[in-house]
Amino acid sequence: MRVRQIRDALLKTPVGLLGLLSLAAQVVLSIWVVVSYPDDFGNRVWSNPIHWVDNPKAAPPAWIRRVDSQPRAEHWQTVRGEPETVEEKGRNLIASWNIPYIVEEGAVPAFLALTVRDVRFEERAPLLALTLIRPDETRVSVMRHAVRGPREGEEGPYERHFDDPLRIQLSADESTLSSLQEFLAEEYGLQMDAEEIRPRVMDILFGVPDATDDGFVPMAGEYTFLFQTATRAEDDGIGSVELVAGGDAFGRMGTDSIGRDLAQGLLYGLPTALVIGVVVALLSTSIGTVLGMASGYLGGTADTVIQRLSDIVANIPVLPLLIFLLFIIGPNLTVIIGILIAFSWPGLAIQVRVMVLHMRSSQLIEAVQSLGSSRWRVMYRHILPQIMPYFLAQIIFTAPSAILAEAGLSFLGLGDPSIPTWGQILEAGFRTGGVYVGYWWWIVPPGLLIVLVASTFMLLSLAIEPVVNPRLRQTRRAD
């Protein structure tokens, strides 16, 4: 029985074992991803730019800091809830948060953003302020903001920024510019206009003017962000304050040009790739087997029709047609899978038919049939088991090509936007020019993952090849 041989080839050869282990690891990881990722990850998270605003754009992975010597700020993000101190000042209550932040030698962060959530007040809207206390004790008032007061006809208590957090990109904020202008004039006697300051907000915040030219030298050391709110009533206040200092390096896999955490997208691609490979392989192989068996067994017109059809479908140049169909029907993973299935079955159908014809004329089958077994029973009991090994081999062989096909379509921009795949990540990297500026962390990993998954299946098929196709084994001529 050849199915057992296949099992042995997979379990007892190093190649087969390696393939199986790698596949098992991928399946386990996929299950974890499916369970732990939010529903509708594609639409709500991945393709939603708001979700990624606080990430640095096109940042290489964090571990790069250990590889190259270039100074890079690590991505820094912190959220605080309850204030540290609350003191009364006149009619106001001043709540303060002291948030320390360390700048390493030469590593000025790429941007600074403040997010405040869940502001509540009885009568008067709170005032928010952020001050940066620098290692040399100088203080920069970075921001002042008045929360929007009561609207006409509105009744207190008022709630602000519960669903739409107040996010201020400090490194690009107009009020920050003017505070900096003031700061420079007072502290260093420097007169700079807003347009001069705009591109170097971060350099100014985290550096001191350079005496020799009009640049700024980064100042390393311990900084403190002092965040304060001024409120009137006891129950007024904010839910949380978040500060982000954008790094030049981010996470395990870096980010793309809109700040998406590539590690998340890459992980999410795994179950998708496996599903595409397995579903296409399983269904197309089943169709091929059934049609091949029917063709070989029924003979006559059915045979002719099935064979002609297989022949034609097998010879259609698939990619152009796939592009066309997806373009017209719209990019949708189910459609992609459906079309791939529709074009992958003929090879097996032709092969199975030949095998069935061969077996049907064998003496065993003739004997069984003459004993009065029904056609379908003979097929099911005697022919199907012999076809099984080819069935399995074909599944293993079809899976990687389905994965590659989807990747290629995604790369052409025909991927399903609600389900991120590796092909789509590559497409984004290519379309936005990431390739030409050398964003390797955006380009290399998705491709490698495609290769990894596809070659897992290749390993499996390499392992079972001698069983399924013994003629290719190096045999001595036997005479």
Partner 1 sequence: MRNLIPLAVRALTMVGVFFVVLLLLVLTLGLTGFSDRILSSVVGEQIRVERTTLAETIRDPDELERVLAARKAELESFYGLDIPWQRRLPASVFRVMRLDLGEARSLRSFAGSSRIADIVLERLPNTILLMTTSTVIVALTGLAGGLYVATRPGSWIDRLVSGLAAVTYAIPTWWIGILLILVVSVHWRLLPSGGMYSTPPPEGGWLRFADLARHAVLPVLSMVLVSVGPYMYAVRTITLNIAQEDFVGMARARGLSETRVRNAHILRVAAPPIVTGLIFGLAGSLSGSILIETVFNWQGMGRLYYDALAGTPDEGVIVALTFMFTLMYVAIRLLLETLYIFLDPRVSYAD
Ligand X SMILES: Nc1ncnc2c1ncn2[C@@H]1O[C@H](COP(=O)(O)OP(=O)(O)OP(=O)(O)O)[C@@H](O)[C@H]1O
Work out how close the CB of 373 gets to partner 1 at its nearest, in angstroms, rounded to a whole number.
Answer: 26
Identify the three-state secondary structure at position 223.
Answer: strand
**Which CB atom, from 136 or from 479, has the smaller least distance to ligand X?**
479
Instruction: Please answer whether residues 378 and 368 qualify as being in contact, where contact means their C-beta atoms are separated by less than 8 angstroms.
Output: yes
Angle between helices 384-409 and 262-298 (to 10 degrees): 140
76 φ, ψ to 5°? -130, 135
Work out how close the CB of 17 gets to partner 1 at its nearest, in angstroms, rounded to a whole number.
Answer: 16
Parallel, antiparallel, or unpaired: how do β-strands 221-231 and 127-133 relate?
antiparallel
Q: Which amino acid is at 118?
A: D
Is residue 479 at the binding interface for ligand X, with CB under 6 A as the rule?
Answer: yes
Contact code string over 82-111 relative to ligand X, x by CB under 6 A: ------------------------------
β-sheet bridge partners, residue 115: 167, 242
Work out how close the CB of 473 gets to ligand X at its nearest, in angstroms, rounded to a whole number.
Answer: 16
**Which CB atom, from 221 or from 433, has the smaller least distance to partner 1?**
433
245: DSSP letter = E
Work out how close the CB of 26 gets to ligand X at its nearest, in angstroms, rounded to a whole number.
Answer: 43
**Which CB atom, from 11 or from 312, has the smaller least distance to partner 1?**
312
Nearest of 451, 316, 420, 297 to residue 37 by alpha carbon: 420
Per CB under 8 A, residues contacting partner 1 are 308, 311-313, 315-321, 323-325, 327-329, 400, 404, 407-408, 411-414, 426, 430-431, 435-438, 440, 443-444, 447, 450-451, 454-455, 457-459, 462, 471-472, 474-477, 479
Is residue 476 at the binding interface for ligand X, with CB under 6 A as the rule?
Answer: yes
Work out how close the CB of 316 gets to partner 1 at its nearest, in angstroms, rounded to a whole number.
Answer: 6
Q: Residue 162: which of partner 1, ligand X, none does it interact with, CB under 5 to 8 A by kind? A: none
Return d(Cα 379, Cα 226) in angstroms, integer.
79
Nearest of 324, 316, 325 to residue 344 by alpha carbon: 316
Nearest of 436, 398, 405, 399 to residue 422 by alpha carbon: 405
Q: Residue 364: which of ligand X, partner 1, none does it interact with, CB under 5 to 8 A by kind? A: none
Work out how close the CB of 474 gets to ligand X at its nearest, in angstroms, rounded to a whole number.
Answer: 12
Instruction: Please answer whether residues 399 and 278 qualify as being in contact, where contact means their C-beta atoms are separated by less than 8 angstroms.
Output: yes
Instruction: Please answer whether residues 421 and 356 qualify as being in contact, where contact means their C-beta atoms are separated by less than 8 angstroms.
Output: no
Is residue 475 at the binding interface for ligand X, with CB under 6 A as the rule?
Answer: no
**Which CB atom, from 28 or from 321, has the smaller least distance to partner 1?**
321
Is residue 474 at the binding interface for ligand X, with CB under 6 A as the rule?
Answer: no
Site of interaction with ligand X (CB under 6 A): 476, 479
